[in-house]
Structure 1
Amino acid sequence: MTTPHGAPAGANLSGLRDHNAALVLGLLRAAPQGSSRVELAARTGLTPQAVGKITARLLAEGMIVEAGQAPSTGGKPRTLLRLRAEAACAIGVHHDRDELTVLLVDLAGQARYRCTEPLDAAIAPADAVALIAAHVRRAAAGLPDGARLLGVGLGCRGPLDHAAGVLHWFTPPRADGTYAWDPGWDGYPLRDALAAMLDGLPVTVDKDTNAGALAEAARAERTGDGLAYVHLAGGLGAGLLLNGRLHRGTRTNAGEFGHQTVDLDGPPCACGNRGCLEALCLAELDRGDPAAAARVIGVGVANLVRLLDIDRVVLGGRAVLAEPDVYLDGIAAQLKERIPDPEWQPVPVAISATGRLAVAAGAAELVLGPLFGRRT
Structure 2
Amino acid sequence: MRKYLVGVNVPALRSHNAALVLDLLRTAGEAGISRLELAERTGLTPQAVSKITARLRAEGLAAEAGHRASTGGKPRTVLRLVPTAAYAVGVHLDRDELTTLLTDLSGTAVTLRRRPLDLGAGAGPVLDAVTAEVRALLDAVPPGGTVLGAGVAMPGPLDHRAGVPGRVTGFPEWDGQPVREELARRLGLPVVLDKDTNAAALGLALRPAAPGSFAYVHLGTGLGAGLVLGGAPLRGDRTGAGELGHQTVQLDGPPCGCGGRGCLEVLCLAAVARGELPEAARILGAGAANLVRLLDIDQVLLGGRVVLAAPDVFAEGVREVLTGLGLTAPVSVVTDTGAGTTAGAGAGTRGAGTRGAGTRGAGTRGAGTKGAGTRGAGTKGAGTTAGAGTEAAAESGTAADSGTTAAASGTGVGAPGAVAEGAVWLTLGPIFGQ
**TM beyond 0.5:** yes
Aligned to 2:56: 58
Which among 320, 331, 346 is matched to residue 349 of structure 1?
A: 331
1:178-198 Cα shifts (integer Å, max 9, x gaps): xx343x311111100100111
1:103-152 Cα shifts (integer Å, max 9, x gaps): 11111111001011111353220111121111111111111343210000
- Structure 1 residues 190-269: aligned runs within 5 Å: 190-199=179-188, 201-222=189-210, 225-269=212-256
- Structure 1 residues 1-376: aligned runs within 5 Å: 18-32=15-29, 33-171=31-169, 180-182=170-172, 184-199=173-188, 201-222=189-210, 225-339=212-326, 342=327, 346-354=328-336, 357-374=417-434
Task: Give SS of 1:30's match.
Answer: helix
Give the Cα separation in 2 of the matches to 1:19 and 1:222.
22
Give the Cα separation in 2 of the matches to 1:370 and 1:139.
22
Task: Give SS of 1:313's match.
Answer: strand
Task: Give SS of 1:188's match.
Answer: coil
For structure 2, the residue ranges without an aligned partner over 5 or more in a row are 1-10, 337-349, 351-415
Q: How many correspondences in the alignment?
A: 345
Give the Cα separation in 2 of the matches to 1:107 and 1:254.
29
Q: CA RMSD in A?
A: 1.7
Give the Cα separation in 1 of the matches to 2:160 and 2:14.
27
Give the Cα separation in 2 of the matches to 1:43 and 1:297.
40
8 Å CA contact 2:102–2:110 kept in 1: the answer is yes
Give the Cα separation in 2 of the matches to 1:228 and 1:203.
25
Question: Which has the larger displacement, 133-142 or 261-270?
Answer: 133-142
Moved over 4 A (4+): 14-17
Q: Which amino acid aligns with 1:277?
A: L
Post-superposition shift, 1:17?
A: 6.7
Q: 1:220 to 1:40 in 2, by over 3 A?
A: closer
Give the Cα separation in 1 of the matches to 2:93 and 2:24.
31
TM-score (norm 1): 0.88
Task: Give SS of 2:156's match.
Answer: coil
Q: 1:130 to 1:63 in 2, by over 3 A?
A: same
Q: Which amino acid aligns with 1:349?
A: V
Q: Which amino acid aligns with 2:325?
A: R
8 Å CA contact 1:87–1:146 kept in 2: the answer is no
Identity of aligned residues (%): 57
Give the Cα separation in 1 of the matches to 2:91 and 2:209.
22
Give the Cα separation in 1 of the matches to 2:132 and 2:263.
37
Task: Give SS of 2:174's match.
Answer: coil
Q: Which amino acid aligns with 2:151?
A: G
For structure 1, the residue ranges without an aligned partner over 5 or more in a row are 1-13, 172-179
Task: Give SS of 1:216's match.
Answer: helix
Give the Cα separation in 1 of the matches to 2:277 and 2:256.
19
TM-score (norm 2): 0.77
Post-superposition shift, 1:36?
A: 1.2
